[in-house]
């Protein structure tokens, strides 16, 4: 039979009372035995390993996986036996000290406001700097000479050949 998505193994759900065993494991074990169920029956119905159910019944929380899984197993076990799963889970947390353990409070640093130089300003400064560097290089490498002044005149022997090759201007 199904109850809130969990398999219920008994027809008449019992509720937690003050007369019930104080330990969650004892309560679950006593309820299971009162209904004539074995650990194997419950394990097969819930698809929870038998050794985990045995650890819950005997209060060996160290034999269980992570606390979130253990609490889930306790809830499923309680629901299958017709017990108030929220109350049983609350008691289990109190017994194992999980209720006292709080998640660490995370504090994140406030983001630093963006006060940086705008991208456009960086581009302008980069262009001005590049122009200044080019201007400085040009100024320092310019000797004031023209290219014609730098190239030596043709040697005399080549100058004679040039005059022989140069055609006479056509009459107009």
User: Is residue 67 one of the residues assigned to a domain?
Assistant: yes
pTM for this one? 0.48
Report pLDDT for 121.
82
Give the domain range for residue 60: 2-96
pLDDT digits (tens, 9 = 90+) for 53-79: 998 888 888 888 888 888 999 999 899
Residues 11 and 91 reside in one and the same domain: yes
User: Is residue 80 one of the residues assigned to a domain?
Assistant: yes
Q: How many domains does the chain have?
A: 2
Report pLDDT for 51.
92
- Mean pLDDT of the region 145-157: 70
Q: Which of 4-8, 26-30, 142-146 has the lowest mean pLDDT?
A: 4-8
Q: Using alpha carbons only, what angle is made at residue 12 by residues 86 and 37, rounded to the nearest 5 degrees?
A: 85
User: Is residue 31 one of the residues assigned to a domain?
Assistant: yes
Report pLDDT for 164.
66
CATH number at residue 52: 1.10.260.40
């Amino acid at each position: 039979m199904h109850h809130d998505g969990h398999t219920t193994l008994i027809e008449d759900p019992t509720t937690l009372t003050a007369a019930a065993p104080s330990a969650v494991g004892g309560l679950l074990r006593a309820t299971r035995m009162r209904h004539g169920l074995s650990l194997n029956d419950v394990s097969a119905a819930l698809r929870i390993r038998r050794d985990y159910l045995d650890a819950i019944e005997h209060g060996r929380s160290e034999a269980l996986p992570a606390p979130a899984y253990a609490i889930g197993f306790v809830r499923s076990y309680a629901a299958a036996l017709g017990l108030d799963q929220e109350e049983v889970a609350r008691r289990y947390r109190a017994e194992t000290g999980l209720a006292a353990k709080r998640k660490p409070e995370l504090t994140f640093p406030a983001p630093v406001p963006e006060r940086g130089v705008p991208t456009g300003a960086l581009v302008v400064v980069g262009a001005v700097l590049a122009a200044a560097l080019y201007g400085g290089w040009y100024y320092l490498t310019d000797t004031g000479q023209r290219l014609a002044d730098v190239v030596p005149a043709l040697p005399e022997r080549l100058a004679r050949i040039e005059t022989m090759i140069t055609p006479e201007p056509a009459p107009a």
